[in-house]
Structure 1
Amino acid sequence: MSPFNFNGLFVLDLANNHQGDLEHATNIIRAMGEVAGENGVRAALKFQFRHLDTFIHPDHTAGSSNKHVDRFLSTRMTNQQFARLADEVRNSGMITMATPFDEESVDLASDLDIDILKVASCSATDWPLMERIAEANKPVIFSTGGLTMKQIDALVSFFDHRRVRCAIMHCVSIYPTPKEHLHLNQITALKRRYPDKVIGFSTHEEPDETSPAHIAIGLGAGMLERHVGIETDTIKLNKYSSTPAQVDRWMKAAIEARQICGSLERVPPQPEETEALRSLMRGVYLRRPIAKGQLITRDDVYFAIPLNEGQLTSGQWVEGIVSTADLDKDQALTTTEAARPKPDDTQALTSAIHGMKAMLNEAQISLPPTFETEFSHHFGVRKFQEVGATLITFVNREYCKKLILQLPGQRHPAHYHKAKEETFVVLHGKLELVVEGRHYTLYPGDMQLVQQGVWHEFWTDTGVIFEEISSKHGLCDSFYEDKSINSMDADSRKTRVNQWGRYQLLPAKTNRRMAA
């Protein structure tokens, strides 16, 4: 069975707003199902389960000083009534969910085949209850109201250790929550701390407020939760519960925010965006007449708008262009009238470095100020983006520690080592590795041993960063299946520099904007 997908989920908490009335609860469920259906969202209707006969101490069943007791008792519903309401949730096209506050209620959720269990903030350190919830073998969402990060860490580890798929709701347990106490940046903090978890926002602000939903989605919240109910002539909602109309506006605000935020992947520009930018770009124009075959220098040109079709942009200007036709003063220099110099080999490396630095930033991997870098380009520097790898060496004594980086689409040819044994540990991205004919797909945290004399090759579709931990690395200890590589001297198939080689990779006439 595939794991439950928490992303995009709207949680509608019925709580005690059913007032202990089956008909009223049914009306709420049907109204919320209609709102969810009209907005085309995945919604879970959440019950709160308490086995009141044991949940409340017998001395407090009457005249209790605890403000919750009278409400819990006055809105009591039977298990049979909850069973009918769970069926109503399913008939309304929603997912069933429940917050159990005691062990007996976990059993009730299991008996009713409730889809998701919720851990309330007040129960997050109730370890006997957590044990029973973990045993139920259901996806779990837990709220973090009033918890320290240490307590959240403990709960994440608790569920991970028991292989319970869980998601986390940022929550502030003040009802309603003033804006200055929403602390929505905690969504970002939780996403950074638990990158493998879906982080949501359980809202307790006043129900007409929709801006927190916009902001929460913008910060990366994958789920939203809100208390819901219906008002009648005799039933009034509390200050943090929403009517169907308010839920509708809230859902629409979240949907709009998702549209505004868009994809995390860099999207190609729209045609109108490209046209708008081109209308402001400068083109290359001739400052004086130029004869065919003449070298065009920087003093011979100027940059101005408008940019004509086929004209070189100012960003495409490089030294060394030769005219292929007679050109007049103020004439636009086009691509057909300009023989541009072939790019220097090092530009392929410096361009790749820009991408690798970005990968390290994305993976949040910091490098020390001192290291050695080796660019392996087995079929030439210009094919480095296809066949190549970048090896960053930190230590090479009796043991060796390296980072190996590959950009999307790069591969490293099949080879073996006579002296060196190595272990690969993936840190970021996905690595495709073949060892003695066996294909492995490695993800962050995966590890693979490669012993001496063992044939291996690797590549990546996504881009990858992995550690190589090995015995001491020596020159001329790589033997390739492709004999043409073995016949090359090391300096012709490798470029070695200190750090990123900012100046070592720059020939005298190379355009310095390409510097690493």
Structure 2
Amino acid sequence: MKRSRVNEIIREGDAFIRSFGYIMPPFAYWSPAELSKRRPAGIIDARLGWDITDYGVEKFDELGLFLFTVRNGRAEDLKRGSGMLYAEKIMISRKDQLSPMHRHNVKAEDIINRGGGKLVLELFMSHPDGSIDDRAEVRVPTDGVMRTMAAGALLKLDPGESVTLMPGVWHAFWAEEGDVLIGEVSTVNDDLTDNIFREKIGRFSTIEEDEEPVHLLVSDYEAWLPEKRVTSVSAS
């Protein structure tokens, strides 16, 4: 993706999020220079921030997702069973824009339609080896009520509705009738190792630098913010 397109998506996404009364954290609006100067470990190491992906296929309008990681715990705490064991994201799925079929080995997540159109999820269970089971019934809680559906059934969530996806549940999703603001509350999130896709695609976009970034993406941190971390951020 061209950086100019990423910048445009960030601006459009921020306006869409604000239209629902959701206010982003202050660090969302730090410039690359300010983030580079402050270098808070709690943001960089936890990979908080903007995440615009076309899954490496350069067809964002058809295959893509807008994400912002608001908070995220540590894998070490999750293994120990105490500490910050949770994560939160705000996302945007555009009308008819596919987030492709995938599952997680570790992460359990609530996917919440926070507003807009309908959020549609295609669901499958896993075989013991992790592959898609195209015959087994799917059982998932939706707002505390267990739902049983055929393999590959489409679960449609109206605004305010949610589904809990446990590790191993295969899922793809998209928006119908309009763009959808999505909330995600989960156990610790690791986008580097815990996304298993059905197709051979990447998790992050390759960026063509045709203009300066308005904000860095989490996938920019390693290249743009190497080494040197601080542990706290001043209030200024």
TM-score by length of 2: 0.59
Report whether the alignment pairs 1:373 with 2:83.
no
Aligned to 2:198: 481
* Structure 1 position 367, deviation (Å): 1.0
Q: Which runs of 4+ in 1 moved over 4 A?
A: none
State the 1:408 CA deviation.
Answer: 2.6
> Aligned pair 1:466/2:182, yes or no?
yes
What residue is the counterpart of 1:251 in the other structure?
A: none
* C-alpha displacement of 1:351: 2.3
Partner of 2:14: 357
- Structure 1 residue 345 and structure 2 residue 22: aligned? no
TM-fit CA distance, 1:451: 0.7
CA contact (8 A) 2:109 2:165 kept: yes
Do residues 431 (structure 1) and 128 (structure 2) align?
Answer: no
Cα RMSD for the two superposed structures: 2.1
Q: Secondary structure at the match of 1:440?
A: strand
Q: Distance in 2 between matches of 1:355 and 1:415?
A: 26
Conservation of the 8 A alpha-carbon contact between 2:7 and 2:215: no
The CA distance in 1 between the partners of 2:156 and 2:88, in whole Å, is 22
Distance, in Å, in 1 between the alignment partners of 2:94 and 2:15 is: 11
Q: CA deviation at 1:403?
A: 0.7
Counterpart-to-counterpart distance in 2, 1:503 and 1:439:
35
- 2:90 maps to which of 403, 408, 411: 403
Residues 411/494 of structure 1: CA separation in 2 closer, same or farther (3 Å cut): farther
Partner of residue 37, structure 1: none
- Where is the strand percentage greater, Structure 1 or Structure 2? 2
Identity of matched residues, %:
26
Amino acid at match of 1:477: D
How many residue pairs get aligned? The number is 151
8 A contact 2:93–2:182 mirrored in 1:
no
1:426–1:465 contact (8 Å) kept in structure 2 = yes
Structure 1 counterpart of 2:123, one-letter code:
V
Residues 407 and 494 of structure 1: is their aligned pair in 2 closer, same or farther, counting only changes over 3 Å?
farther
Structure having greater relative contact order (Cα 8 Å, sep ≥ 6)? 2
Q: Mark the structure with the bigger radius of gyration.
A: 1
The residue type paired with residue 196 of structure 2 is F
User: Alpha carbons of 1:403 and 1:504: their partners in 2 closer, same or farther (altered >3 Å)?
Assistant: closer
**Unmatched 5+ stretches in structure 2:** 29-48, 74-84, 125-151, 208-212, 218-236
How far, CA to CA, are the matches of 1:459 and 1:386 in structure 2? 10
Question: Secondary structure of 2:160's partner?
Answer: coil
- Relative to structure 1, the CA distance from residue 360 to residue 451 in structure 2 (aligned partners, 3 Å threshold; closer, same or farther) is same
Match runs of 1:9-408 below 5 Å:
345-371=2-28, 372-380=49-57, 382-397=58-73, 398-408=85-95
Residue matched to 1:415: 102
Is 2:94–2:174's contact at 8 Å kept on the other side of the alignment?
no
